[in-house]
Structures are given as C-alpha cells and as structure tokens.
Amino acid sequence: MSIYDFSAQTTAGRDIPLDKYKGKVMLLVNTASKCGLTPQYSDLQKLYERYQEEGLEILGFPCNQFAEQEPGTSEEAVSFCQLNYGVTFRVFAKIDVRGLQAHPLYQYLIEEAPFQGFDQTNSSGRLLQAVLESKHPELLPGDGIKWNFTKFLVDRNGNVVQRFEPAVDPLDMEEAIKQLL
C-alpha cells in the first residue's frame, strides 16, 4: 500500500486519485480557517511558489474536528484560503482526520508516521502541549492527529517520510523538502 492507493474529493465532489501526483514531493496538511495557526497558509503558499516547478505539491484538507475551527462549507474553506492567503495549491473538500470517521488517507498517514510528541525546545510546541493538556486532553493519547496544521511530507515514490506537528512552521520544513526535490 502507498499514498497512491488513495483519492481525495474536490469541493465539486470529484474524486482525484493521488497517483496523479506520482513523481512529485507532496506535503499533506489538515487545515482550518479559524485557528490560531491559520497564518501558516501564507508560508505554505511561499513554499509552493518556490518549489512547485521543482516538483512540490501541497494538498490541503480542511477539517472541523478541532474546536470547530472550520465551520463553513468546503467551498467556503477554499474561498477563504484564496482570498485571505492567495493560496493556489490544491485544497480539497472537508474531511475528518481522526477518529472512527477519519478519511482512509489520514488513517494511512498516521500509521506510516505516528505521533512523536511536540518539540519541547520550541515555545509553540510547549504552548500547544499545554493547551491540549488543559482544554482537550482527549486528543493527546495515541498517534492520531492532535490539531490543525499537522503536516506529512511524502517523497517522489509515495513514501511518507516525516510528520511535522502543528507548531512546526512551514518554512522550518524547507530543508527537508529540498532534500527530496
């Protein structure tokens, strides 16, 4: 099994097989429009503009599972990204990324790149850990997605290479991306 065995749905309801991205380096991100981390869209777009011609694809997956921070429709989520952050990378229809209804793609990503903890040397990592411990402790156990903007880096052969937790700024992943391009 590989990432290419999955598909994702556009806001128009059309399935896009991920094998469309064979030979590309992919960054898959669960997103939300009303999250404190939403400004990461800006740096994700910068990475996309810098490396798209070299083979980088960024795939956004809006999700409303974390404090209901993506409350609108899939179309509204895509429009928000485009209008507020100039996003030109593909943003798919809303999905669940954790729990019994998690999209099979995200079940696979979690299996391939389990949770390794938050970077405690990073103030954002410590803050996210503290917020989850106090307000959403049910999200901490296990390998599931902990919050919006968890990022998965996939190589040109469809292998999940690395998981970056929400507190990791997209520009801090640039070297890891460049190594795969």
Entry field: residues in the chain:
181
pLDDT at 43: 97
Rounded Cα gap, residues 89 and 9, in angstroms: 15
81 has catalytic annotation: no
Encoding tokens for residue 10?
């556009």
Average pLDDT, the chain: 96
pLDDT at 132: 94
- pLDDT band (50, 70, 90) for residue 129: very high
pLDDT at 1: 86
Rounded Cα gap, residues 108 and 112, in angstroms: 6
How many domains are there within the chain?
Answer: 1
To the nearest whole percent, how much of the chain has pLDDT over 70? 100
pLDDT at 6: 97
Write out the residue range of the structural domain in which residue 154 sits: 3-180
Catalytic residue among 28, 35, 93, 109: 35
pLDDT at 24: 98
Which CATH number belongs to the domain containing residue 49 in this structure? 3.40.30.10
pLDDT tens for residues 52-80? 999 999 999 999 999 999 999 999 999 99
Average pLDDT over residues 11-16: 94
